[in-house]
Amino acid sequence: MPPRKRATVTAPSTMKELKDTLWKAADKLRGSMDASQYKDVILGLVFLKYVSDAFDERREQLEQELIADGLDDEGIASLIDDRDEYLGSSVFWVPEEARWSYLAQNAKGIQESGDVEARTVGELVNGAMRGLMAENATLTGTLPIIFNNPSVDQRRLGELIDMFNDTRFTGEGARRARDLLGEVYEYFLEKFARAEGKRGGEFYTPAGVVRVLVEMLEPYNGRVYDPCCGSGGMFVQAEKFIEHHGGNPADISVYGQELNERTWRMAKMNLAIHGITAQLGPKWEDTFAHDVHPDLLADFVMANPPFNIKDWTRREDDKRWKYGVPPSGNANYAWIQHILSKLAERGSAGVVMANGTMSSNSGGEGEIRARLVEADQVSCMVALPTQLFRSTGIPVCVWFFAKDKAPGPKGSIDRRGQVLFIDARNLGYMVDRAERALSDDDIAKIAGTFHAWRGTESANGVEYADEPGFCYSATLAEIKEADYALTPGRYVGAAPLEDDGEPIEEKIARLTKELYEQFDESARLQAVVREQLGRVG
């Protein structure tokens, strides 16, 4: 028997190299299909490359272990395909025709020859996806089977596979490879969300907004639920939070639901990439029409429901409408009440909503909001800056709910009968002309204020105090007096003006003089323009 050819594992690509290479790959398809289509193609190939790289790396490690044990080539050959050795190392089992080396070898497809039937490269990639799902139960129903569709240019698909040959997700261990892929995947989700504009908001919530929810709720353990989970970003950020604070991600159980088929598949793939086991239901479903987790009581709910849905599945006798039947023309308060119905005895929730929900009185929404307040379900309202969502110009806020605001595991200070209002509209920085982002300090300020108010361990002994223009702890009586409006700006007041030392009378005189001077200059320029136009005429 000839000696076995030893596989080699190249050094991993840097993050910049991966992003540059893969975004160039996306550019290759951009002219031939729309953003939503090439998103599925690119992300599918990224996933396929990752699982194949991880498989090859584990195969090399296993081979070296068997050599160290003194096995010859025949002994190695008999044991190297033991799939438990892969699955036990959190590596997917990749059948031979799903391995990247096989696809790269046949990037132009397989030509008909004798008994060999011709197959396009798209058919080969589809076969690889089917093979992966057949061999790995957690991937069932997840991967895209779209690569041989008429809209996919087979020549360009082959070129993409050639380009991907130069990327490598492995070389520093399975965990590092998974982190690398996770970061690339999130980078692409953000890029594609921008490219798709308004539709991008259906599957992507800006990371800063998700972090506000996660940092305030602190989901260290228990059941975490998202009724409209998009691509799974809430769950990914929850896992990162737990790891950052030295916890064990295995201490949370993840439940979700998603209406859009492609987005549901994207979520399944995203969570598989991050090693998160999630129960997203057997298929995509409408949360209002068919709740796939009817008996779930969650410890944490984090959600960014679609805003102001007019056409939604509504039944007036639905038991979820504990505080009033939501109007048929807007599902905002249906989402809120569905989420409240899912909270366990000490559960808490954070929900991104359009600003209109804080003060709207149409369709009975004002009465529902009043009942929510009187039932002491609302713990905190946060008004966020504009332009955080590239996909919509609608200003947004975050509602935080708590089933129990008494002293206990969720905080040492009794906050029953109170609501914290935070006006964060002046925070953030502009990424570009169209989009704003929250910095780490911004998120820490918002979350830290809430934790000080609640008296949690993470407040580190910092005592809460109202801050004019930013935060205020209001009683239910004060909220009732404001006709149950929950807009933070009505409660926090104005920030104190900085005293520059100039007496007010002198400042008024100076500013008046400057204004009149500007009026005079404007008049002079207007006369010059009129004179020039007269000459042209």
User: Which pLDDT score, from 0 to 100, does residue 9 have?
Assistant: 39
Check whether 340 has a pLDDT greater than 80.
yes
User: Which pLDDT score, from 0 to 100, does residue 402 have?
Assistant: 97
Fold of 203-492: Rossmann fold (3.40.50)
Mean pLDDT on 314-336:
95
Phi, psi of 12 (to 5 degrees): -70, 150
User: Which pLDDT score, from 0 to 100, does residue 528 have?
Assistant: 83
Q: Is the separation of the CB atoms in 321 and 335 below 8 Å?
A: no
Check whether 403 has a pLDDT greater than 50.
yes
> CA-to-CA distance for 505 and 513, rounded, in angstroms?
12
94, exposed or middle or buried, with CB in 10 Å at 0-12, 13-18, 19+? buried
Q: Is the separation of the CB atoms in 293 and 194 below 8 Å?
A: no
Mean pLDDT on 120-138:
94
Question: pTM of the entire structure?
Answer: 0.77
> CA-to-CA distance for 116 and 123, rounded, in angstroms?
14
Mean pLDDT on 292-307:
95
Pick the CATH number of 15-186 from 2.60.130.10, 3.40.50.1980, 1.20.1260.30, 3.40.50.720: 1.20.1260.30
Mean pLDDT on 383-400:
85
**Local structure of residue 384 (DSSP, 8 states):** P
Distances (CA, A) of 241 to 174, 203, 275, 427, 456: 20, 21, 15, 22, 16
3-state secondary structure of 143: coil
Check whether 60 has a pLDDT greater than 50.
yes
User: Which pLDDT score, from 0 to 100, does residue 12 have?
Assistant: 46
User: Domain-by-domain residue ranges, the chain?
Assistant: 15-186, 203-492, 499-537
User: Which pLDDT score, from 0 to 100, does residue 5 have?
Assistant: 43
H helix runs in 106-173, sequence order: 121-135, 154-164
> CA-to-CA distance for 266 and 222, rounded, in angstroms?
24
3-state secondary structure of 37: helix
Tell me the pLDDT tens digit for each residue of 494-516.
Answer: 766 566 667 778 778 888 888 88
95-109, 149-163, 468-482: the lowest-pLDDT one = 149-163
pLDDT-derived band at 420 (thresholds 50, 70, 90) equals: very high
Q: Which residues is 380 bridged to in the sheet?
A: 400, 420
User: Dihedral angle at the C-alpha atoms of 241, 247, 251, 253, nearest 10 degrees?
Assistant: 10
